[in-house]
Structures are given as C-alpha cells and as structure tokens.
A and B are shown apart, each in its own frame.
Chain A
Amino acid sequence: MATNALFFLFAGLAIASAISMVYHKNPLYSAISLVGVFIALSCVYITLAAPFIAAVQVLIYAGAIMVLVVFVIMLLNLDDDQPLNRLKYLYIVGAGLGLVLLVQTLFVFYAVLRAPKQAVATNETVGKTLSIGANMYTMYLLPVEIVGVLLLMAIIGAVILVRRLSQPELENVVDDELTRRDEEDDIGDFRISI
C-alpha cells in the first residue's frame, strides 16, 4: 500500500516536472524541470526494486548530462525562447505524434490489464547489480557493443565539428588578428605622438 502511494507521488512529480519543462520559456527553468523528471523517475525505479537503474539514472542523466546542458545555457546566457511563427506546422506534427504516443500508452495499459497477474517475489534478483552485469556481458553482449560503437561515433562527430578549422588555419586566423591589432596600436601611437 505504501509502495502504491509512493508510486503515485513520484509519478505525479515526474509528470508535473515534465509539463513544467515544456511550458517554461526560459531554457534554464526547462533544464531544472528535466532534472526533476529524472530524479522522480529514479525514485519510481527504486519503488519497483531496481536500485541499480535508479542510481545510474541519477548519476548519468541528472549528474552528468544535464549539468553539461545547464553549463552550456549558463555560458551562452540564453534569454527567453521567442515563439517562431514560421514553425507553425510543427504544432500539427507534434499533435499527431502526441496522439500516436497516447494510443501506444493506452495499448500498453490494455495489454498489462489483460495479462495474467503474477506475484512478484520480494527477494527477486532482477534489478540487482550482479544480474544486470551478468546479463549485459553474456546474453546481450552484441547490443552493448553496438551501443558502445554508437557512442564512440557521437564523440568523434563532436570532435570533428569542433575542429572544423584544421590546426594551421586556426594559427593563421590568430596571427591575422594579432597583426591587425598591432597595426591599430601603431596608428594610435602615431596619433598620440602628434
């Protein structure tokens, strides 16, 4: 009974944070709301007896990825997001996708209702670290490897995007800027000496 109450509490928090994330115009408020979603979700995982997933959710999503997002927002000092009129068609696309998601959710709910009820043993090891690790590196080794390669590709892509100017060109840009400033300084000196 307490577990049910906790589930509804944290699920409600997650949904409220998600709505607040979409609703806020300020990107930093949206980011904080997303952190709220992650933390509420990890609490739900704990009530579902999956402590490893819960800890990893907080550690990676809330603790690392969203900190980077907040960092970028702070660095760029973004203002409120202005509504863009030319993106009106996105509302229609969004409504369609939302409808698909709603139907899918209802279908899952229906399937769960129809499934035969099973009592969950409290000493189940499914959510425990050992069983997750053992399954990941035996039964699901190939998907893990594929995800690893995918992440590596993302990292290499980011590095290439940052290094679009190759090193010598970057140095040329810096040299040009420095010589331009030197010339300006020379002009300034000349004026002062007159």
Chain B
Amino acid sequence: MESVAQTAFPWVVWLVAVSLAFGGVLMVVAYTVLAERKVLGWIQGRIGPNRVGPWGMLQPFADLLKFIFKEDLVPDKSTKFVYYLAPVVALTCALMPMVVYPFGPAITTIDWTFLPWHLGDGVTTLPLTISRIDVGVLFVLGITSVGVYGIALAGWSSNSKYSLMGGLRSSAQMISYELAMGAAVLGPVLLAGTLDLGGIIRAQQQSMFRWFIIPQFIAFVVFLISAFAETNRVPFDLPEAETELVAGFHTEYSALKFALFFMAEYVNMFTVSVMCTVLFLGGWYVPGLEAIGRWLGISAYLHEGTITYAIVSHVGFLVKICAFLFFYIWVRGTLPRFRFDQLMNFGWKFLLPVALLNVFVTIVVVYFLNV
C-alpha cells in the first residue's frame, strides 16, 4: 500500500494528488528556467532578468504569455501531421515518469475521518507517491527513451537541413548514451535488489553512509555525464548547436510548439535529477532527522509516519534535486561544447566500458559478499 492509487481514497483524491504533483513539477521547472538565466547572468557578470516582479520572479509567466501570443509559423514544405505530433510526443514522454516519483515517506499517523463527505473513511496511510510499480526504474528509462522520437521526428518533418542534422545527431547521441546510463543504473539496482524506486530508497535509509554514491561512485559519475547527453545539455548540446545548426531540431518551430520543446528539455532535467537523487543520494531520506528529534525532545513529531517528518523529508528531496539542477546550470556556464566525433568516441569507447566494468565488479562483490 505504498501509492495513492492503491489507498481507499475515492478517485477524487487521486485526481487532486495527480494535479498537485503535476502543478508542483511544472512550477519547479518554470523556476528552473528563471534560475538558469539568473545564475548564467551571475557567472557572466550580468544581472539577469530583474524587471518582471521582484527579482524577476514573475518572468516565467511573462515568458509563457509571450509564447502563447506569438505568431505560429508552420513551414510550407513540412510534413504537417508529424510536425504537429513531435512536440506533443516530446512533452508527454517527459512528463509521464512523474507518476512513479517518490516525493516523500508515507504519512501514517493522521486520522482521515475528519474529511467531509466520507472522503477519508477507512484510510490509514497517505503515501506521497502517485503510483508505485514493481519496475519503476525501467519505466522511467523506457518512457524517456521514447522521448527521442519527439526530437528525431521534429528534425525530419521540418524539411530543413539544420533540423534534419539536429534530429540525426540527437537520435545517435541519445541511443549511445542510453546504454551507458542503463549500465550505470544497474549498480544501485544490484545493491538494492529491486527495480522499485521506493525500495531503492529503503535500502539506503539507515544512515548517510548507506547512500549508494559511496560504493557506486563510478556509476554516479557515469550516470551524471550520460544524463547531460540524454537531456541535450551543454557540453553535449550538439542537436541544437547554435554556431553550426542555427537551433538544431527546433529551428523551424515557433510560439507554443517551441515552448513545448523548451519545457520538455527542462522537465527531462528534473527527471534525471530525481533519478540521480533516488539512486545515489537516498531519495527523500534526510540523515539524522529522527536523532535530531530525540535530541530536541520532539520525537513525537519527528518519527517516520508523522506529517512533519514527511514535510521535512520532502523538502530534503527538493533540496537534493535543486542541487543537481544548479550543477546543470553551473556546467552550462563553464564548459565549451564537444565535437560530434569526440562525443561518440567518449560515449562508446570510454563511458560504456567503464559502466560495464562497474556492473561486473558489482555483480561479483554482491554475489560473494552477499551485501
């Protein structure tokens, strides 16, 4: 009973839960865009957007309005159906993994009968996961791998040489780095003995030293590097390299269709940050939280199952994710772009062998030491 979909709540509550998760993720994504512009500005000695609202806090909404009201240009010679389909595929596949994110621990100490219209009758736990499936890791990897179609089809259907080159580069790059990423994910999965995201967090829960970043540091680095390639970010942003390809696969897209691609890129960043946090940094687990509760004498409010514990854990989860998002932006402000042959050589001849070797060593260790 570790997911909202399996509790005794009626379907209205699931709808609220799904909307909350959806809105929350989109808000984080919107402010990631703003944070990116701000941090890049600071790195480059500029101020960044500061005109819309205090410190530019309303900039994401101004951008959204601008995207909605811009003129929507469709190239004359494009393949219309596929041209319209591509951004939808990209954003849908980026948003779908949201249903398995473990946002926090289950709340078990609240009596839900106070809710009106018998909404909370017979409910004892409120898990902070929309749906917990047995193969969560594979689900996320599979859905994000389908997201390649959005970019590849956009490049093909635009009927422009820059778009086509961008689409080709992107599909080649994402297929190549998906292998290294999958092999890196195997390390924590082998140690935890489950493919379920909640189970992987449980396996790292005893202390900070059980986090898989310590035994699986190589897998962590490989995962981080291939995550940059999977999300088409600097230094692997060859599908949209502006100095050679204008804007790559989305050269011919304008207004809201471009906005969908833009959002898909940032939602994908969020997804890989969640995966990195869950696989290597203990997910929502905040080290020493229960010990602090005992030390301060408020143990009744800070043991697992209480609502305060859940909130603090959820904030910890968000802080870890934001650290990864900041790292993304930092790297973008620091590193130059790879050349395409360098990218392929690095992916196939260095990253993949290292990841496979790590998997092999992990298998041997897990088998003989029975960790």
Which one of B148, B167, B168, B178 has the highest number of Cβ atoms from chain A below 10 Å of its Cβ?
Answer: B148
Is A14 part of the contact surface with B, judged by Cβ < 8 Å? no
Is B52 part of the contact surface with A, judged by Cβ < 8 Å? no
Contact between chains at B149 and A55 (CB < 8 Å): no
Is B110 part of the contact surface with A, judged by Cβ < 8 Å? no
Known contacts A52-B138, A55-B138, A59-B141; is-contact A68 B82 (Cβ 8 Å): no
Can you report 16 A-B residue pairs in the complex whose CB atoms are below 8 A from each other? A28-B82, A32-B82, A39-B146, A51-B134, A58-B142, A62-B145, A70-B149, A70-B152, A70-B156, A71-B152, A71-B168, A74-B168, A75-B168, A128-B134, A129-B134, A129-B194
Contact between chains at B145 and A59 (CB < 8 Å): yes
CA distance A28 to B149 in the complex (A): 11
Contact between chains at B148 and A67 (CB < 8 Å): yes
Using Cβ atoms and an 8 Å threshold, which residues of chain B touch A58? 142-143, 145-146
CA distance A183 to B134 in the complex (A): 66
| Residue in B85, B133, B174 whose CB lies within 8 Å of A51 | B133
B238 to chain A, nearest CB (A): 15
CA distance A35 to B93 in the complex (A): 14
Is B292 part of the contact surface with A, judged by Cβ < 8 Å? no
Known contacts A67-B171, A75-B168; is-contact A28 B156 (Cβ 8 Å): yes
B78 to chain A, nearest CB (A): 13
Within 8 A of B (CB), among A112-149: 128-129
B191 to chain A, nearest CB (A): 15
Interface size class of B (residues with CB under 8 A): 20 to 34
Using Cβ atoms and an 8 Å threshold, which residues of chain A touch B149? 32, 35, 67, 70
7 pairs of A and B residues whose beta carbons are closest in the complex = A63-B145, A55-B138, A58-B142, A59-B142, A55-B135, A71-B171, A74-B156
Is A99 part of the contact surface with B, judged by Cβ < 8 Å? no
Contact between chains at A63 and B168 (CB < 8 Å): no
CA distance A39 to B143 in the complex (A): 10
What does DSSP make chain A's interface, helix, strand, loop or mixed? helix
A173 to chain B, nearest CB (A): 20
Is A64 part of the contact surface with B, judged by Cβ < 8 Å? yes
Within 8 A of B (CB), among A47-65: 51-52, 54-56, 58-59, 62-64
B364 to chain A, nearest CB (A): 16
B86 to chain A, nearest CB (A): 10
Taking Cβ atoms with an 8 Å cutoff, the residues of B that contact A are 82, 85, 133-135, 138-139, 141-143, 145-146, 148-149, 152-153, 155-156, 164, 167-168, 171-172, 174-175, 178, 194-195
Using Cβ atoms and an 8 Å threshold, which residues of chain A touch B178? 63-64
Contact between chains at B142 and A62 (CB < 8 Å): yes
Look across to chain B and name the residue whose beta carbon is closest to the beta carbon of A38. Answer: B146
| Residue in B135, B152, B174, B194 whose CB lies within 8 Å of A74 | B152
CA distance A128 to B136 in the complex (A): 12
CA distance A55 to B156 in the complex (A): 27
Look across to chain B and name the residue whose beta carbon is closest to the beta carbon of A125. Answer: B134
Look across to chain B and name the residue whose beta carbon is closest to the beta carbon of A70. Answer: B152
CA distance A29 to B26 in the complex (A): 32
A109 to chain B, nearest CB (A): 30
Contact between chains at B171 and A70 (CB < 8 Å): yes
Contact between chains at A129 and B156 (CB < 8 Å): no
CA distance A68 to B167 in the complex (A): 12
Contact between chains at B195 and A129 (CB < 8 Å): yes
Known contacts A32-B153, A71-B152; is-contact A56 B145 (Cβ 8 Å): no
CA distance A51 to B145 in the complex (A): 17
Using Cβ atoms and an 8 Å threshold, which residues of chain A touch B82? 28, 32
Using Cβ atoms and an 8 Å threshold, which residues of chain B touch A64? 145, 175, 178
Render A94-112 as a binary contact track against B, CB cut-off 8 A, 1 for contact: 0000000000000000000
CA distance A51 to B141 in the complex (A): 14
Using Cβ atoms and an 8 Å threshold, which residues of chain A touch B164? 74
Look across to chain A and name the residue whose beta carbon is closest to the beta carbon of B195. Answer: A129
